Every structure is written in structure tokens, then in C-alpha cells.
Amino acid sequence: MSATAVAAKTGAVNVQNVVKIYQRDSQQIKVLDGLTLEVPEGEFLALMGPSGSGKTTLLNLIAGIDRATSGTVRVAGTDLTPLGEGELAKWRSQNIGFIFQFYNLIPVLNALENVELPLLLSHLSKKERRERSLTALRIVGLADRSKHYPRQLSGGQEQRVAIARAIVTDPAVLVADEPTGDLDSKSAEEILDLMQTFNKEFGKTIVMVTHDPRAAARAHTQRHLDKGVLTE
């Protein structure tokens, strides 16, 4: 069965009985406690909850940048549990688009080069990479800023470049950690508009962590986490 077929059957994201325990010196901190979550394909899910509730940890597990202590995490049709570090990195490059709160653009690269970064891991030619990156920038409305460096862009523009970087590989799932948390309300609205566009027009599954009720209201579904457990 293909990954797409598996994803259609099990949902784009399928988290089963996940426990995540952090070791802090001699202390064990249970961040996620037997959590189960299913996100269907094309869903726009907002994860809310107080600080320390485990939202970002759950997002990291879904994005394959952290590992569960127990339980299974299946995303885009792939069970992430048995994958090695190298396999997981390759999987991330093909299936996940990550949007950070603080944009995390590489300061020494211009907008176009930042967007092109994930494509460096593909077999595309330089020309193809440039074309795709420009297309992604065009979609987020920043084609005319392609040669600008992060320091020359506003916060909203930086986040739009970060979104272009997240979508340039055409990933199945977009994960966003407080994507509007560092933006003014106008820029936040623009970013949320963009995310809605990707969800509606391109059918991207989006999992977004947010504290902002206005941002959460843009999602189809809102789930609340508290002390590592989904409460609603």
C-alpha cells in the first residue's frame, strides 16, 4: 500500500498512545501522557493550551524532529517510530514544512536562497531550484524581495519567506509553531490568510500551535492540551 493510500486510510497524522518523558538531571518530566490524536488529510487543526502543556512537544513529534518515549506516530503514511536519524531527516525534507514562531531564516542568505535551502537536498538542477523558489516567493507575494536579506525585511515579510521555504518542497503536512506569535495584528492576519489559502486551495494538512484565539478561529478544528493530555 502506498504512503498516500495509508495516509488516506489512517489520516495525515495519526498519533497513538504517545508518551514523552524528558530527563532533567535525575528528574523525569512526563510531557505527553498517553496522547492519541488523528488529523485527517486536508484538515487545519489548531492546538491550544497553556505554556508547558506539551503543544510544541507534540508538534515536534509530528514533524519528526523529536521521538516519542512510547507509542506510535504515523505522519503522511509513514510510521516514524522505526526510522533512523538519516531516514527521518530525508523523510522530513520530503513530507514536512515547518513554520517557526521566530521565522528562523538563515541571516547570511537572501530570501531566494533561504527558500531554496530545502531543495538543495533534492536532485533538482540549479535552474529548477531557482524557478521553484521564485514560484514559492510569488505565492507568498514576495517575488520582488527575492534578493533581500532577512535583516532587510519586516517581521511579516520574514514569516512569509519562511512559509515559502516551508511549501517549496510541496510537503503533505505543514506544522506551525506560533506562526503569528511575533507579529503585529495586520501581519498576523496576512499570515493566517496565506495558511488558509494553502489549506483550502492546495489541500495541505496544517497543524498549528497557537495561544491566540483569533488565529485558532481560522482553523477547522481546535484541540486543547493540558498537562500532556488532550482535553477537548
Q: Where on the chain is the footprint of another protein (CB under 8 A)?
A: 56-57, 60, 63, 65-66, 85-86, 89-94, 98, 100, 102, 104, 106-109, 113, 117-118, 120-121, 126, 165
Sign of CA pseudo-dihedral 101, 191, 134, 62: positive
* Residue among 210, 100, 215 nearest 155 (CA): 100
CA-to-CA separations, 180 to 77, 92, 153, in angstroms, rounded: 29, 23, 16
Nearer to another protein, 95 or 218 (CB): 95
**Ramachandran area for residue 149 (φ above 0: left; ψ -120 to 50: alpha; else beta):** beta
Q: Which three cell numbers stand for residue 51?
A: 505554556
Q: Which three cell numbers stand for residue 93?
A: 525534507
What is the smallest separation between the CB atom of 117 and another protein, expressed in angstroms? 6
What are the φ and ψ backbone dihedral angles of 42, each rounded to 5 degrees?
Answer: 80, 5
Residue 17: CB minimum distance to another protein, A: 20
**Choice between 93 and 222, CB closer to another protein:** 93
Measured from the CB atom, the residue of 8 and 149 that comes closer to another protein is 149
What are 195's three cell numbers?
495558511
103 vs 218, beta carbon nearer another protein: 103
| Nearest-approach distance from CB 120 to another protein, in angstroms | 5
Is residue 119 within 8 A of residue 133, CB to CB? The reply is yes
* Minimum distance, C-beta of residue 53 to another protein, in the bound complex (Å): 15
Least separation in angstroms between residue 128's CB and another protein is: 12
Residue whose CB is less far from another protein, 119 or 216: 119
**For another protein, the closer CB: 159 or 218:** 159
Q: What H or E segment, with its residue span, contains residue 74?
A: strand 70-75
What does the alpha-carbon distance between residue 225 and residue 232 come to, in Å, rounded to a whole number? 8
Least separation in angstroms between residue 9's CB and another protein is: 26
Q: Which three cell numbers stand for residue 164?
A: 515559502
Closer to another protein by CB, 9 or 126: give it: 126
Q: How far is the CB of 232 from another protein (least distance, A)?
A: 26
Do 114 and 145 touch, CB atoms closer than 8 A? no
